[in-house]
Amino acid sequence: MTTTSMLSLLLLFLVAQVRASGSDSSFGASEPPTVGTEVNATANTTASTPSTSASSDSTSPEETLAPIDTASSTSSTFQLVDSVDCNSTVSSTIYVIYNKNRALFDVCVSDAQYQIFPFLGTKPSTAQVEDMASSTSCIAVFTGVLLADFPQCTISGFPLKAAVETLLKIHVDQVNGWAALPTAERFQEMMSWRRCVNLAKEAGVPYDSDSELYAEYEENLDIARSNSSIRVLSNYQVEYQLASGSWYDADGEDDEVVGSTGSDDTAGTVSAGDGSSEVSDSEASNAEENSTAAGNAAPSVAAHGVATAITGFLLSVFLMTA
C-alpha cells in the first residue's frame, strides 16, 4: 500500500471518529455528577443516584399524573393565545436578578449540570429536572423569580416564568410525595401548558382554570410563595435562611435576621420594574452582554479543539512515513 493510500484511509477513519465523538457529546453532558450536601439541611433533597431514581419514578402508573389539556383557538375553556417577547423593562429586570444573584445561579448550574438561564437551546434530561427541583440554590433562584411576578413572555427563546413555576411545582410534589417525578418529555409538556395558561389568563380569556393540573399548580405555588426561609430584597438580592437564623446568599455574606416590620426586605414585595430597585440599567446590560458572550464561546472552543486534533494527527503521520 502506498503512502498516499495509507494517509487517505487514516483520514477517513479520523473523520468517522470525530463525527461519532460529536454525536455522543450531546448526550454525555446530560449525565450529572453526584450532588453534594446543601448548606440548608432542612431544604436539601439529595440525588446521589439520579439515573436510578429517574428510572424508578418513570415506571409509576400514568393514572397518578394529572392530564395535560391543549389550548385551542376554538376552545371555550382553554383559549390559545400567541406568545410574546419580553419587553425591555421586563428583560432588563430579569437580567438584574441574574446579575445580583449570579453566584446562586452558578451553584444551581453546578448542582443540576444544566443552565436554565440564559437559555442555551438544549432541553434538560429527566435527571437534570430532578436535580433542579431538589437543589437549594435552584429553589432559591426560582422562588426569587416567582416573587418578582413577571408577566408570561419569552426571553432568549425561552418561557422563563412557565419553566420556573413548573420546577417549583415539581419541587413541592417531591418534598411532599404528592406526584411521581415527571420525565423530561412530560416536563416539556407541563411547561408548555403552563405558558399557555399564563398567556390566556393575562389576556382575560379562558385558561383551563377548572382542570386538575391547574389546581395542583396553584396549591404548590402558594406553598412556594409562603416559604418564609427565602426572601427577595428590594434590590432583587435573593437570600435564604440558615438553621442558625441568619440569612445567606451565595456571595458568602450572612445577614442578621430582619424583623417582620422591614416590609422592603420581606419575600413577596418585589414586582417587575419596581422603581425602588437599587440596581442600575447598566448592570443589567452588562450581565446580558457577558452571558451572551459566554454562550457563544462554547461552540468555537469545541471547533478549535477538533481542528487542533486533526492537524496534530496528520503531522504525526507525515513524520512517520517520511
pLDDT tens by residue, 31-42 = 333 333 333 333
Q: Let me know if residue 4 belongs to a domain.
A: no
Q: Let me know if residue 302 belongs to a domain.
A: no
Q: What angle do CA 276, 150, 282 make, to 5 degrees?
A: 50
Kindly list the distances between the CA atom of residue 218 and the CA atoms of 64, 69, 172, 222, in Å, as whole numbers in the listed order: 18, 16, 11, 6
Of residues 216 and 25, more confidently modeled: 216
Q: Let me know if residue 297 belongs to a domain.
A: no
The predicted-structure confidence for 100-122, as pLDDT tens digits, reads as follows 999 999 999 999 999 999 999 99
SS3 state at 254:
strand
Cell numbers describing residue 13: 477513519
Instruction: Give the rounded percent of residues in the chain with a pLDDT score beyond 90.
Output: 50
Of residues 59 and 70, more confidently modeled: 70
- Per-residue pLDDT, 289: 55
60 beta partners: none
Structural domains of the chain, count: 1
Mean pLDDT of 148-156: 94
Mean pLDDT of 155-181: 95
Distance CA 179, CA 170 (A): 8
CB 164 within 8 A of CB 195: no
Q: Give the pairing type, strands 230-232 and 254-255.
A: unpaired
Of residues 250 and 253, more confidently modeled: 250
Q: Let me know if residue 264 belongs to a domain.
A: yes
Give me the domain span that covers residue 51: 30-279
The predicted-structure confidence for 259-269, as pLDDT tens digits, reads as follows 222 333 444 43
Q: Give the pairing type, strands 238-241 and 230-232.
A: antiparallel
- Per-residue pLDDT, 255: 45
Distance CA 288, CA 125 (A): 26
Distance CA 220, CA 261 (A): 27
Distance CA 227, CA 239 (A): 12
- Per-residue pLDDT, 240: 86
Q: Let me know if residue 112 belongs to a domain.
A: yes
Q: E strands, the chain, where?
A: 230-232, 238-241, 247-248, 254-255
Distance CA 312, CA 314 (A): 6
Please tell me the pTM assigned to this model: 0.64
User: Among the ranges 95-99, 244-248, 302-306, 308-312, which has the highest mean pLDDT value?
Assistant: 95-99
Give the torsion sign (CA, 248, 254, 257, 260): negative
- Per-residue pLDDT, 27: 29
Q: What is the DSSP string of 4-37?
A: HHHHHHHHHHHHHHHHHHHHHHHHHTT---PPPP
Q: Let me know if residue 303 belongs to a domain.
A: no
Mean pLDDT of 269-280: 39
In total, the chain counts a number of residues equal to 322
